[in-house]
Amino acid sequence: MNNIDAIGHVTGRSVYLDDIPMQEGTLHAVALGSDIANGKIISMDLQAAEVIPGVARIFTAEDIPGENQIGGILPDEPLFAETEVHFQGQPIALIVAKDEFTARKARNLIKVNYQEFDPVTDPRQAKERGLLLFPPRTFESGDIDNAWKRCEYIFEGRAESGAQEHLYIETQGSYAIPMENGNLKIYSSTQGPTIVQKTVAKVLGIPMHRIEVDVQRLGGAFGGKEDQATAWACMAAMASQKLNKPVKISLHRLDDMKMTGKRHPYSSDFKIGLNKDLKIIAYETTYFQNGGAAADLSPAIMERTLFHATNSYYIPNVKAAAYSCKTNLPPFTAFRGFGAPQAMFVIESAIAKAAEVLKVSASTIQEKNLLNENDEFHYGQIAKKVNAGKSWKDVVDIYKTEEQLKEIEKFNEQNQIYKKGLSLMPVCFGISFTKTPMNQARALVHIYQDGSVGISTGAIEMGQGVNTKLLQVAAKTLSINPDRIKIETTNTTRVANTSPTAASSGADLNGKALLIACNDLNERLIAGASKILKVDRESIKIKDESVFLKGEKTKLHWKQLIELVFLDRINLTAVGHYATPIIHFDKSTEKGHPFTYHVYGTAAISVKLDCIRGRYEIEKVQIAHDFGTSLNKKIDLGQIEGGVVQGIGWMTMEEIGYSKEGKLLSNSLSTYKVPDIYAAPKSIECKALDTEGPDLAIMRSKAIGEPPFMYGIGAYFALRNAIKAFNASAKIEFDAPLTPEKVLMSLYSGD
C-alpha cells in the first residue's frame, strides 16, 4: 500500500499549518528573543515599536494571566523572561501586528538594556560550578570494582558528540482562534497536542476543556516538536485570548534555528576492560549532558542515554553515571534516538580505542560481545528474541564484508591519494517511553450509515507514515477496502490525554488502541448479522466486505450490513484504550523491565576518502534490519533511509558552533550543512531479517522511527579506518562530527 499522503505531497495539496485559510482579522505575531546568553534585563523600551501603525499590542511576562511557566517535566522555564535571561534567543516579548512584516519592523525598534554576565556553554565547566539541571543518576550492574582486577586490558578515554539541528522543513508555528465563551481553538505544529493543551491551560489560567488543539500533519519534527512546539502555541493563545482575535505565529527559519533547542551535545569519559579473549568484562562511563538553560525533556533523554550505555553488547559489570549540566544555550531537546545515539557513540569509541591499541579490528571485539538470548541488560531486563548476532551475521554473509575488506585493503595499497574504510555498526534500541505511564493510547472509530469509516487517534502524522499504517490496521481488522476509511485530524476534543507521538511508538500504541476499537465493532457487527440471518454468532465471519456463513459468502454486503445494524439501533462508534502490558521500572533501584521489546539491526558503512582535500564520500550503506512482519515495507524503508542519512549527517558534517558569548554561529543553511543528495550515500541497501516480530508490536510490525538513525554512527568509524589507512599514527579524537576539516587535520597529525 502506498503512503496515503503521497499524492497530496507531490502535488502540493497537503495541508500544513501555513496552508490553513486565515480568518478575517487574523493578526500575526513574532517573538523578541534575548540578544545575550546570560544576564539581567535592566530596562526595555517598547515605545518606538508600539506607535508603528498596524501594531496591535506588545506582550511581556507581566501580561500572562496564569503561570509564566512552560517546563514540561520540571517547572524551570518561563514563557517570557522576567528579569533574567539565560540563553540567546530566549523569548522576552511578543509583538502582535496586522501582518508579519509590521511585527518584524516593530521588533527591530525594541530596545533592551542588559547587564551581561559571562555565559557557561561547556557542560564540564557547568558541572564544576555545580550547575546541574536536576540530580545525577547512576545505573549499575555486576561488581565493577572487582571486575577491573579480572581484566587483561583496560583503556580509558573521552568522547564528544555535538548538537544537531532538527531542520524540519516546516518551522515551528501555531494559529489560535478565539471561540465563543472564551474558549480557544489552536492549530499547532506539534507532536504533542495534549502537552500544548495542558501548557496553554496553565499559562492562561483556564481549564483544559476550554482548549481544543487540532493537528492535520507536520512537515517534519524529529523530536523537535515533542516539547518545543508549546511555547509558540502559548504565545498565540495568549495574544488571541487577550485581543479576542485570531493570532498566528510561524517562525522564520533563522528565528527557529536561533530560538529552539537541538540534540544534546555530550562530553563523556569511558573506561573499558577486556579479558584476554577480548570479552568486555567491565565498562564504566560518565556522561556530561549539555542540557542548556532549562530542563525541557533532558531528564528523560538522560535516562535513555543510561539505558543504551552498552548498545548491542552484553557487559556483565557496568557503571554508567550521568549529569545534566545547565548552560547558557537554548534548552536542548528530544531528537530521533533521544539520548541513545550519544551513549552508543561512547561505547563504540571505547571499543575502537581498545581495538586500536590491541591491533585488532573493532569488528572482532564487537562481534565477540554481541548480546545473546537471556542476557541481562544492566538495568535488569532480560533480553528476549535477541537478533544482534543474527543481524551481524546477515550483514557479513549477504554483503560479503570479509571480501569487501580485502578489496579495500588492496585498494588502499594501490592508491596514495584515496583511501577507503569500512565499519560495522550494530544497533539495539528499546521500544517504549521510558516513563511507563506514557505508554497508553486511545482511538475513536465511527462507522457511518453509508459504511464509510472515520478514525481518530492520538497519533500525529509528521511524514513518517503513521496514518497509512493506522488505515491498514483498520482495513485489515474490519476487512474492508481502505478507500472506505478516513484518518481524521488529531484533535484533543475527540481523543484526549494523548502521549506525544514519539519514542518510535506512534504506530504501536495508537495502532493497538485502534485494533481494540475495531475488534469491538466487529463483535457488534457479527452479533447484528447473526440476528439478521437468524443464525448463531459462531458461524458468522465478516471478510472482504461480505458476511460469510459457515465459510460461504452470503448476499449480505458491508454496506447493507451497516444500514441494517444501524436500523437495529446498534452503536456504530467504538473507543479503544490500550496500555502496554509487562513494562515497569523502579527508579529507586534503577532496575526493571522498561521496554516492550528491542529493535535490532546491523549496518556496514564504507567510505572513500580524498586524502589531499579531506573530503569523503559515503559509498555504501548495507543493512540487515529486524522489521518483524512489516506492515508497510515502502514506508519502513523510507524511515531506514532517512534515519541513516540523518545519523550520518550528525556524525560527519552537521556542526553547530557557538561563540564564546553563547551566540549561535551556524545560524543559517549557509553555515550549517546537512546531507544533500550529493552528500548522501551512493547506495543504501537493506535486507529484512527473517523474523516474525513480537506480539506487542502492532501486527508484529516493529517500531521503525528511531533505530535506523544510529546506523549512521558507523560512518564515523569507517572514516576513522580510512584515515588510519593513510596515516597509521594519525591522531583522531573521538570528537563528532568528523567534518572534512577535522579529517584533513587528522590525516597529517601524529608522528
Catalytic center residues: 706
Beta carbon nearer to ligand MOS, 226 or 284: 226
Beta carbon nearer to ligand LUZ, 334 or 686: 334
Beta carbon nearer to ligand MOS, 68 or 505: 505
Residue 191, interface with ligand MOS (CB under 6 A)? yes
User: Chain-centre distance of CA 729, in angstroms?
Assistant: 38
Beta carbon nearer to ligand MOS, 240 or 439: 439
Beta carbon nearer to ligand MOS, 408 or 431: 431
Residue 681 contacts which entry, ligand MOS, ligand LUZ, none (Cβ below 5-8 A, type-dependent)? none
Instruction: Give me the least distance between CB of 362 and ligand MOS, in Å please.
Output: 27
Angle between helices 466-478 and 506-533 (to 10 degrees): 20
- Look-up of cell digits 459462531: 538
Beta carbon nearer to ligand LUZ, 299 or 528: 299
Residue 710 contacts which entry, ligand LUZ, ligand MOS, none (Cβ below 5-8 A, type-dependent)? none
Q: Give the DSSP H or E segment for 408.
A: helix 401-414
The single-letter code of the amino acid at 268 is S
The stretch near ligand LUZ (CB under 6 A) out of 42-50, 212-220, 431-439, 563-571 is 431-439
State whether residue 654 is helix, strand or coil: coil
Omega prior to 91 cis, within 30 of 0:
no
- State how far the Cα of 207 lies from the Cα of 176, in Å rounded to an integer: 16
CA dihedral 630, 634, 638, 644 (to 10 degrees): 50
Fill in the DSSP letter of residue 748.
T
Residue 195, interface with ligand LUZ (CB under 6 A)? no
From the list 155, 338, 379, 578, which residue makes contact with ligand MOS (rule: CB under 6 A)?
Answer: 338
Residue 191 contacts which entry, ligand MOS, ligand LUZ, none (Cβ below 5-8 A, type-dependent)? ligand MOS
- State how far the Cα of 581 lies from the Cα of 129, in Å rounded to an integer: 43
Residue 460, interface with ligand LUZ (CB under 6 A)? no
CA terminus-to-terminus distance, the chain: 57
Residue 312, interface with ligand LUZ (CB under 6 A)? no
Residue 433 contacts which entry, ligand LUZ, ligand MOS, none (Cβ below 5-8 A, type-dependent)? ligand LUZ
The single-letter code of the amino acid at 236 is A
Residues counted in the chain? 751
List, in sequence order, every beta strand (DSSP E) within 34-74.
39-45, 55-60
Residue 90 contacts which entry, ligand MOS, ligand LUZ, none (Cβ below 5-8 A, type-dependent)? none
Contact assessment for residue 379 and residue 309, using Cβ atoms and an 8 Å cutoff: no
Beta carbon nearer to ligand MOS, 335 or 717: 335
Q: Given CA atoms 276, 280, 282, 284 in this order, what sign does their dihedral have?
A: positive
Residue 608, interface with ligand LUZ (CB under 6 A)? no
Contact assessment for residue 404 and residue 422, using Cβ atoms and an 8 Å cutoff: yes
Other beta carbons within 10 Å of 138: 11
Residue 466, interface with ligand MOS (CB under 6 A)? no
Instruction: Give me the least distance between CB of 246 and ligand LUZ, in Å please.
Output: 31
Residue 304 contacts which entry, ligand LUZ, ligand MOS, none (Cβ below 5-8 A, type-dependent)? ligand LUZ
Q: Give the DSSP H or E segment for 249.
A: strand 247-250
Residue 147, interface with ligand MOS (CB under 6 A)? no
Tell me the C-alpha to C-alpha distance, in Å, between residue 312 and each of 377, 554, 709: 10, 53, 15
Instruction: Give me the least distance between CB of 300 and ligand LUZ, in Å please.
Output: 5
Residue 502, interface with ligand LUZ (CB under 6 A)? yes
Quick one: cell of 636? 519502513
Beta carbon nearer to ligand LUZ, 248 or 304: 304
- State how far the Cα of 245 lies from the Cα of 179, in Å rounded to an integer: 9
From the list 59, 335, 418, 600, which residue makes contact with ligand MOS (rule: CB under 6 A)?
Answer: 335
Residue 97, interface with ligand LUZ (CB under 6 A)? no
Instruction: Give me the least distance between CB of 222 and ligand MOS, in Å please.
Output: 7
Instruction: Give me the least distance between CB of 703 and ligand LUZ, in Å please.
Output: 10
Site for ligand MOS in 477-536 (CB under 6 A): 502-503
Q: Which residues, at least 6 apart from 342, have a Cβ–Cβ distance to it below 8 Å?
A: 161, 263, 264, 266, 268, 287, 289, 305
Contact assessment for residue 153 and residue 274, using Cβ atoms and an 8 Å cutoff: yes
Instruction: Give me the least distance between CB of 388 and ligand MOS, in Å please.
Output: 22
Is 7 exposed, middle or buried (CB count within 10 Å of its CB: 0-12, 13-18, 19+)? exposed
The stretch near ligand MOS (CB under 6 A) out of 286-294, 333-341, 397-405, 571-579 is 333-341
Site for ligand MOS in 198-257 (CB under 6 A): 223, 226
Contact assessment for residue 459 and residue 501, using Cβ atoms and an 8 Å cutoff: yes
Beta carbon nearer to ligand LUZ, 33 or 601: 601
- State how far the Cα of 720 lies from the Cα of 724, in Å rounded to an integer: 6
Residue 428, interface with ligand MOS (CB under 6 A)? no
Fill in the DSSP letter of residue 495.
S
Chain position whose Cβ is nearest to ligand MOS: 223
Q: Give the DSSP H or E segment for 602.
A: strand 597-610
Tell me the C-alpha to C-alpha distance, in Å, between residue 536 and each of 75, 533, 543, 551, 731: 58, 9, 17, 14, 77
Residue 334, interface with ligand MOS (CB under 6 A)? yes
Residue 260 contacts which entry, ligand LUZ, ligand MOS, none (Cβ below 5-8 A, type-dependent)? none
Beta carbon nearer to ligand LUZ, 86 or 304: 304
User: Which residues bind to ligand LUZ, rule: CB under 6 A?
Assistant: 223, 226, 297, 300, 304, 334, 338, 433-435, 502-503
Footprint of ligand MOS on this chain (CB under 6 A)? 191, 223, 226, 334-336, 338, 502-503, 706
